[in-house]
């Protein structure tokens, strides 16, 4: 479904992503795991079109999207839940969901209902300004907002960041459910433990390079991963 | 003239002047909100609006209403073109570079106007005359009524547009977070163009009222109202649309009251003095707000 081939991304002179290649197949959950600064978010931002790779090709369903503007990539069925949620804090919960459906024209009431069914808390707060939501609720809103565009591939950037363990469990349960409902998932996480449990396959990133790849279970057992990411 | 009459009349003419400031301030504040830049050439769009109306009526001989509409369209195109040519290439440059470019565009527009129309002022052909409506002892000029009614209607429509329409919501989304808006499928560049078009249309209307109020237009006509409207936008809280409306109207009223009761010469100094006071007490302006981010 999604192929990243030989990506090299720079921030000015800093070489943030080095020769990265990986793919996400239809129906998979793929995790990108790495420490802070490993380049995980940079990769997602490059796939979404907010950043450009100097080399290589990024393709979605066999179509080269390396130079497609970000706002057109959404229309191809690729949605990103960015790091730090990035919901529109001064807009209401409802308006945030409407923005998620921007490419569809008007938000379909049935889609809004299905997001509310997934996240009942959002329904209670639909008229509230998003900035007044708790961190967990904001994460739910960010995910609900992304769902409004009916993505076939959803990219989640550190959905567990800053959340209490119980909320992290809840968010991962929802990711699992989205996956069972047919959404392909690309998950970026520092929380290797949770991510490897849920992922079919994973790639380990270190300072902008893919250093290891395998199935979730394989990597969870790998001594190198255990040492670096799972606390021994 | 009675004390009350004098007060009411200066309040009314302040309201009228203030609505012109508010129209201009809306352009400043919307562009600032969305593109995070101070478009110091915005004032000169007022001048361009007034001159284009002059050309369409006096030179082309079109009826006033057609000339006004064409003047508005001309300013929208001008605003969008300026953004496209001068500001868009600097989207990722430092704010200082953009600010200096805007000042450059301002001088460019003024000089082009001087080349085309000369250095002396040109008479503005549209007027509603000096006749006034008598309300008891208070007389209200029709031009004042017209200005207040039209700007009031524009503000209501604009507020509804920003809060309810799909494009208006996209504008708010872009002003909050460009990357997130882009990830929603919003074309950020196009949204910025729309904002410049709306701001410039409002400036053209301000140019019309300015011409009708002062009867003469020159190349630097837009500079002073532009600066005052910028003050009004900061006064109300830059980036805030109700703030620009409130700031503009208050500024107009303060200016007229100062002229009536203190001194005509000092009225500008008083206007800018009030800005300094407000910013000392409330640095974000009257309606400016900051929402803290939750993690």
Instruction: Give the minimum alpha-carbon distance from A7 to chain B in angstroms, rounded to a whole number.
Output: 20
User: What tokens does A62 get?
Assistant: 């066999």
Contact B135, B145 (CB under 8 A): no
Per-residue pLDDT tens for A105-156?
Answer: 888 999 999 999 989 999 999 999 999 999 999 999 999 999 999 999 999 9
Q: Is residue A162 classed exposed, middle or buried when 0-12, 13-18 and 19+ CB atoms within 10 A define those classes?
A: middle
CB contact under 8 A, A72 and B185: yes
Q: Of A194, A136, A197, which is closest to residue A163 (Cα–Cα)? A: A136
Q: What is the pLDDT of residue A185?
A: 96
Q: Which of B169, B176, B181 comes nearest A98 by C-beta?
A: B169
Say which residue the tokens 């369409």 belong to.
B56
* pLDDT interval class at A187 (50, 70, 90): very high
In angstroms, the CA B177 to CA A85 distance is 11
Q: pLDDT digits over A61-79, tens only?
A: 999 999 999 999 999 999 9
Instruction: Say if strands A63-64 and A57-60 run parallel, antiparallel, or are unpaired.
Output: antiparallel
How far A191 CA lies from chain B's nearest CA (Å)?
Answer: 17
Task: Give the tokens for residue A218.
Answer: 């394989």
Q: What is the C-alpha to C-alpha distance for residues B291 and A90, in angstroms, rounded to an integer?
A: 8
Across all residues in chain A, what is the average pLDDT? 92
Chain A residues within 8 A (CB-CB) of chain B? 45, 48-50, 69-72, 74-75, 79-80, 82, 84, 86-91, 95, 98-100, 102-103, 105-106, 129, 131, 133-135, 138, 145, 149, 161-162
Interface ipTM: 0.92
d(CA A7, CA A53): 5
Res B290: pLDDT: 57
Q: In the prediction, which pLDDT does B100 show?
A: 95
Does residue A94 carry a pLDDT above 90? yes
CA dihedral B169, B173, B175, B177 (to 10 degrees): 180
CB-based burial of residue A105 (10 Å sphere; 0-12 exposed, 13-18 middle, 19+ buried)?
exposed
CA distance A215 to B60: 75
**Closest alpha carbon within chain B to A163:** B295
Nearest chain A Cα distance for residue B245, angstroms: 20
Q: Find tokens 């130079």 and name the residue.
A: A67
Partner-chain contact B185 A75, CB within 8 Å: yes
| Residue ranges in chain B modelled with pLDDT below 70 | 1, 289-295
Task: Give the pLDDT confidence score for residue B44 in this predicted structure.
Answer: 97
Cα dist from A150 to A101, A179, A181, whole Å = 8, 13, 12
Which of A12, A68, A88 to mutate to test binding with chain B, by most B CBs within 10 Å of its CB? Answer: A88
Q: Which of A72, A89, A105 sits opposite B176 (nearest CB)?
A: A89
Tokens representing residue B41 in the block: 């050439």
Q: What 3-state DSSP class applies to A20?
A: strand
Calculate how close chain B gets to A141, using CA atoms only, in Å.
13
Residue reference for tokens 């670096």 = A228
**What pLDDT is stored for residue B291 in this prediction?**
46
């Amino acid at each position: 479904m999604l192929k990243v081939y030989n990506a090299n991304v720079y921030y000015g002179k800093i070489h943030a992503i080095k020769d990265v290649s990986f793919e996400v197949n239809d129906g998979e959950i793929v995790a990108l795991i790495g420490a802070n600064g490993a380049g995980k978010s940079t990769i997602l931002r490059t796939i979404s079109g907010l950043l450009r790779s100097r080399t290589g090709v990024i393709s979605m369903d066999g179509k080269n999207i390396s130079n497609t503007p970000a706002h057109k990539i959404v229309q191809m069925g690729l949605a990103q839940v960015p790091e730090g949620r990035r919901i529109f804090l001064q807009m209401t919960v409802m308006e945030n969901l409407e923005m998620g459906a921007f490419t569809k024209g008007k938000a379909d009431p049935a889609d809004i209902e299905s997001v509310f069914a997934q996240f009942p808390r959002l329904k209670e707060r639909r008229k509230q300004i998003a900035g007044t939501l708790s961190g967990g609720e904001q994460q739910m809103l960010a995910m609900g907002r992304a769902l409004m565009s009916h993505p076939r591939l959803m990219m989640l950037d550190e959905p567990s960041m800053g959340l209490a363990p119980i909320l992290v469990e809840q968010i991962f349960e929802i990711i699992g459910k989205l996956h069972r409902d047919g959404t392909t998932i690309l998950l970026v996480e520092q929380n290797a433990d949770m991510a490897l449990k849920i992922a079919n396959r994973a790639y380990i990133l270190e300072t902008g390079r893919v250093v290891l790849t395998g199935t979730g279970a394989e990597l969870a057992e790998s001594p190198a991963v255990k040492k670096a990411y799972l606390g021994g | 003239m009675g004390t009350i009459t004098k007060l009411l009349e200066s309040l009314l003419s302040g309201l009228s002047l203030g609505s012109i400031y508010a129209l201009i301030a809306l352009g400043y504040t919307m562009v600032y909100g969305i593109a995070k830049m101070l478009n110091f050439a915005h004032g000169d769009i007022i001048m361009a609006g007034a001159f284009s109306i002059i050309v369409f009526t006096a030179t082309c001989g079109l009826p006033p209403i057609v000339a006004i509409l064409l003047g508005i369209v001309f300013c929208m195109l001008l605003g969008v073109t300026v953004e496209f040519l001068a500001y868009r290439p600097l989207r990722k440059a430092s704010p200082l570079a953009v600010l200096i470019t805007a000042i450059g565009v301002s001088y460019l527009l003024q000089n082009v106007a001087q080349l085309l129309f000369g250095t002396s002022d040109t008479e503005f052909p549209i007027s509603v005359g000096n006749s006034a409506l008598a309300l008891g002892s208070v007389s209200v000029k029709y031009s004042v009524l017209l200005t207040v009614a039209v700007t009031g209607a524009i503000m209501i429509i604009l507020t509804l547009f920003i809060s309810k329409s799909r494009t208006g919501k996209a504008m708010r989304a872009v002003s909050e977070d460009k990357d997130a808006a882009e990830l929603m499928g919003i074309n950020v560049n196009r949204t910025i163009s729309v904002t410049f078009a709306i701001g410039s249309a409002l400036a053209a209307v301000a140019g019309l009222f300015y011409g009708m109020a002062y009867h003469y237009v020159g190349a630097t006509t837009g500079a002073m109202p532009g600066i005052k409207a910028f003050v009004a936008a900061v006064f109300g809280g830059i980036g805030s649309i109700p703030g620009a409306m409130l700031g503009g109207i208050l500024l107009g009223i303060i200016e007229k009251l100062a002229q009536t009761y203190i001194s005509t010469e000092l009225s500008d100094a008083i206007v800018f003095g009030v800005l300094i006071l407000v910013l000392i007490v409330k640095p974000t302006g009257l309606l400016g707000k900051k929402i803290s981010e939750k993690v």
